Structure 1
């Protein structure tokens, strides 16, 4: 198990290092007309990926040196007690992640059809419902706050008109 985690962490670190070169070729904020350039967000993600992948790799190596094993815990999780037989059903709760992925794909398509702001409001509404909000007051507050944040961040802070 430690070998798999180490391999995964190493792959994450290598992905971050390989992605660093093309990301540094994006224009900076000094080269474009917006407050924050196109390089900032991908570079932030790559730095986070590099840091978290390195941390996972170091923690895994530390645990291997200490002799910590995860095989017993994994075996206990994969084999439920003999008295309970778990059957998988396709309920809304068990397929919620697929609905969120579908909503994200539709949102991506909808941006070009109706515009960013309206598509984002619709996406926020759908995601709020998918994540379990049932009170219309909560849903309305979420929509208003999300809309104000989108307007505030993109128009006011970044200078990108919607």
Structure 2
């Protein structure tokens, strides 16, 4: 289990580092007429993604070291091997969310911010377990209204 979490943390760190290059190509606030430039929000998300990925990796390595130390102090268990875990949707949900995020980034350039945001919010709501169509519709409508309100109205940043 710790190997999979380590791989996930490394994938998060790699995603943050790869996303840094195109994000730095966005104009800064000095280059546009808005108070906060288009680079600020994605750059802050990438910084948080990188820091949280590093924290997850550090905690996983610490837990592995502690569990290895605890196993060396105790007697060996019978059987020696843990039962194999089934590969199911619940066990791979985090990978689906990462794939949806990458798809959202690609789709945003093809169909525009608003349409891609509607699809991304709908997919993520379903991936996170919402089953009531009323809850799904309310979540999508509120998320899109917040995105439009914050970026276009509050910050004055035109969306693609």
Shorter-chain TM-score range: 0.5 to 0.7
Cα drift, residue 28 of structure 1: 4.7
CA 1:70–1:98 in 2, change beyond 3 Å: closer, same or farther? closer
Q: TM-score, normalised by structure 2?
A: 0.59
Aligned length: 127
Greater Rg, structure 1 or structure 2?
A: 1
Equivalent residue number for residue 33 of structure 1:
33
Indicate whether 1:124 and 2:121 are aligned: yes
Corresponding residue number in structure 2 for 1:150: 147
Asked whether the 8 Å contact 2:34–2:155 carries over to 1, the reply is: yes
- Deviation at 1:72? 3.7
SS in 2 for 1:94: helix
What stretches of structure 1 of length at least 5 have no aligned partner?
A: 1-11, 13-18, 57-68
Residues 35 and 157, structure 1, Cα contact 8 Å, conserved in 2: no
Instruction: Indicate the RMSD between aligned Cα atoms, in angstroms.
Output: 4.0
TM-score, structure 1 length as denominator?
A: 0.58
Long gaps (5+) in structure 2: 1-12, 14-19, 56-62, 72-76
- Runs of 4+ residues over 2 Å off in structure 1: 26-31, 38-50, 69-77, 81-86
